[in-house]
Structure 1
Amino acid sequence: FFFLFYPLFFRYVRDLRLIEEYFINPIKQAEEKHRKHIVPENLNKVFNSISYFLFIHEVISNCLNERQENQFPLVRSISDILLSYVWVFRAYAPYLIHYEDALRELDESIRKKDKLGRLVRKQQKSPSCRNMPLTTYLLKPFQRLLKYPLLITNLLKGTDKDGFDYDKTVSLKLKLDEVLADVEEQKREHDNMERLRELETRIHGLGQFRLAINNRQLLKESPACQTSFTLKKQPSLRKSLTVMSSPTLNQKRHSVRNLYTLECNDIVLLAERTGATKDGHPVYKLVSRPPSPIDDEPVMVHTRPEDSGVYYED
């Protein structure tokens, strides 16, 4: 296994080193020369992650080299080394969180041909880059993250259950699965929060209510009556059917065909679609009284009899 794993590991370290030597370092030098930051926020965070990956993987590489020298010609165990550094994979969470935005920032710089874009285009022409753009190299950590579970699974399958290294290999597999699950959860929570924040900007009438809070998950936004069998059977009814706003606000009738439910895990907002953004995303207006403002605390159910436009799960 060592002679299968080590070449893959070495190539990964080589690619990380290339990113730092041909892109990160020259960009830093350009910033120092012009005394101006030219790297956008998300791309800078991805660069920082890659520099950290390189540092740690070079340490692991040195450990593997030393193990090979001590156990040559047959390396009997590397699980203990990998287990000692499995925590490193938690550092992949910031990389995954900012990766997509970093690519957009990089593409924009190249398209605009600004200082960063011109420098990247110049460095990409180096023979050492093997005719591959920076975007290809920035993908390497993600690709490696997908390969490690399979590699460790194969290592476990090839380890003798009666061997001295089997228990450590099992621990390595379990710990890696735990760490990667945590990384995936961090990415999922970040993406969900971004969706909530973006939706919040498209809803008028929320007042001080914050839609984007911890532990709230956006499930879907969809037409309020899309599952109604009656409306599906009689499409003309959708045009004429209306609902009345809460009497505490200016009373107004709203066409059912424009009503949407914005469903989260703990609340459901009833809103009227009033338009769209330049990107084509719906813009809403809350149909009735906005929820009471909260501060990351459990939401209390409204006790007033009128419809608040917000519904809470029991």
Structure 2
Amino acid sequence: NTDISRKLRERDFAIEELINTELAYNNSLIEVRDVFYKPMKASKMLTLQQLDDIFPHWNELIDTSTEFCRDLNDYVKSDSSDQSISQILLKHMIKFKVYRLYCTQQRVACETLQHCLSSNYRLNQLVKIFEKNTKTKGLPLSSYLLKPMQRITKYKLIVEKIATNTPISCPDYDEVVKVNNLMSALLKSIDHAIGSKDNPNRIDWFRSRLIGADKWLLDWLSDNTAQHPHDRPCLVHCGTLYKAKSNREFICFLFNKYLILTTPNYNTNGRLFEFPSTNQLNEIKWSFILYKEPLALNQVSSI
């Protein structure tokens, strides 16, 4: 009984944390719209496409959070049973899919913002003024753009806390377990979507800069029509390698089926290889010389 009482107290604390932090998060979303988005749109220094790139699905995020806040406030005012909190979470889980849309575009949002600020001095100064008008008095806009990604991660942590402290004897135990599983699945799908979105662009970029490759390899790298996803090229990892004795530099690209070893056809200045940002992909003129025929992954262990 003592253990159950302790768990129920921890559960109540987690529910209270969910409610209080959702209200603060909702206020931040609205603040971005009113303090940044609307004045930036009115300034006409950015195209509508640039605004959409910087603030993707922002109104949908506001609507989703506002509806969630409304139900959470009703829960508090009506002094509902604990079962209601799991029902509220289940009701809104379907709407949280907007976070997948946002998170897959969040990196482009930050890169577009950085590009616009660095190429437009007047806009840069204007945004600095806007940043001083926020409640935080100086938190950069780029930090606000991270809040939705941070929030969906926070949801998972709070829901896990609620689930951990929900005794099996609770009437809503099964619903809480279901919410926890759905939230974990959503986070995994977001992680997968972020990786999948970057992959085709990076593969195309690498393929167009690969020197000495046979036609079959180039065809495989551009094959996104295979019936089974596992048969399509997927870039798993890349990075710099050095040969043990000669210290020769290689840049390797590990795909789902092959390991491709290349030598850089540019001066790396000793810097380890990292993919350029999305905005820089077409600007950077790096190229790579195929070192040897691609190695099938079942052969890699014997090298």
TM-score by length of 2: 0.72
Shift in alpha-carbon separation, 1:141–1:260, aligned structure 2, 3 A: closer
CA-CA distance at 1:11 after TM superposition = 0.2
Are the structure 2 counterparts of residues 279 and 154 from structure 1 closer, same or farther at C-alpha, using a change threshold of 3 Å? same
Match for 1:23: what amino acid?
Answer: F
Quote the offset at 1:172 in angstroms.
0.4
Separation (CA, whole Å) in 2 of partners of 1:175 and 1:260: 39
The 1:48–1:263 alpha-carbon spacing in structure 2 relative to 1, beyond 3 Å, is: closer
Offset from partner CA, 1:89-146 (integer Å, 9 cap, x none): 3322332233233223323333344454343222112153533221221121122122
Aligned counterpart for 2:58 among listed residues 45, 50, 56: 50
The residue type paired with residue 122 of structure 1 is I
CA contact (8 A) 1:202 1:284 kept: yes
- Aligned-partner Cα distance in 2 for 1:277–1:94: 35
Mapped partners of 2:263, 2:56: distance in 1: 43
SS at structure 1 position matched to 2:289: strand
3-state SS of the aligned residue for 1:285? strand
Q: Is the 8 A contact 1:110 1:121 kept in 2?
A: no
Structure 2 counterpart of 1:254? none
1:27 Cα deviation from its structure 2 partner: 2.2
Tell me, yes or no, if structure 1 residue 181 matches structure 2 residue 194. Answer: no
- Check 1:263–1:151 CA distance in 2 against 1; reply closer, same or farther (3 A cut): closer
Task: Give the equivalent residue in structure 2 for 1:6.
Answer: 19
Give distance in 1, aligned partners of 2:253 and 2:29: 43
Match of 2:135 in 1: 128
Q: 1:10 to 1:262 in 2, by over 3 A?
A: closer
The equivalent of 1:198 in structure 2 is 205
The one-letter code matched in structure 2 to 1:140 is K
Q: Is this contact kept in 1: 2:54–2:110, CA < 8 A?
A: no
Map Cα deviations across residues 199-234 of structure 1 (whole Å, 9 max, x no partner): 2232134566362554422233555x836xxxx2xx
Does residue 59 of structure 1 match 2:49?
no
In the superposition, relative to structure 1, how do residues 54 and 278 fare at CA in structure 2: closer, same or farther (>3 Å)? farther
Q: Which has the higher contact order (CA 8 A, sep 6+)?
A: 2
Structure 1, unpaired ranges of 5+: 239-256, 289-308
Gaps of 5+ in 2: 1-11, 225-231, 274-285, 299-303
Tell me the C-alpha RMSD between the 2 structures: 3.2
Within the alignment, does 1:22 sit opposite 2:35 as a pair?
A: yes
Q: Does 1:87 align with 2:97?
A: no
CA contact (8 A) 2:31 2:134 kept: no
Percent identity reads 21
Structure ID, larger Rg: 1
Equivalent AA in structure 1 for residue 187 of structure 2: L
Change in CA separation of 1:66 and 1:279 when aligned onto 2, cut-off 3 Å: farther
- Structure 1 residue 287: Cα displacement: 6.2
Q: Number of residues paired by the alignment?
A: 261
For residue 255 of structure 2, the aligned residue among 264, 267, 280 is 264
Cα distance in 1 for residues equivalent to 2:114 and 2:251: 35
Deviations 1:176-196 (A, max 9, x none): 111111111111222333432
Q: Which residue of 2 aligns with 1:220?
A: 238
> Which of 27, 37, 47 pairs up with 1:37?
47
Q: Distance in 2 between matches of 1:259 and 1:128?
A: 49
Please tell me whether the aligned partners of residues 193 and 213 of structure 1 are also in contact (alpha carbons under 8 angstroms): no
TM-score for the superposition, normalised by structure 1:
0.70
Shift of 1:9: 0.7
Distance 2:147 2:124 in 1: 20
1:284 corresponds to: 288
- Counting helix residues as a fraction of each chain, which structure ranks higher? 2
Partner amino acid for 2:70? N
* Kept in 1: contact 2:104–2:190 (CA 8 A): no
Q: Deviations over 1:36-65 (max 9, x none)?
A: 61663xx62351323211111101111122
Match of 1:141 among 122, 141, 148: 148
| Contact 2:260/2:290 (<8 A) preserved | yes
AA aligned to 1:106 is L
2:169 to 162, 166, 172: 162
Q: 1-side partners of 2:205 and 2:142: how far apart?
A: 26
CA distance in 1, matches of 2:270, 2:94: 40
Mark the CA change 1:154 to 1:310 in structure 2 (over 3 Å): closer, same or farther.
closer
The structure-2 alpha-carbon separation of the partners of 1:161 and 1:88, relative to structure 1 and needing over 3 Å to count, comes to same
Q: Could you tell me whether the CA contact under 8 Å between 2:251 and 2:263 is conserved in 1?
A: yes
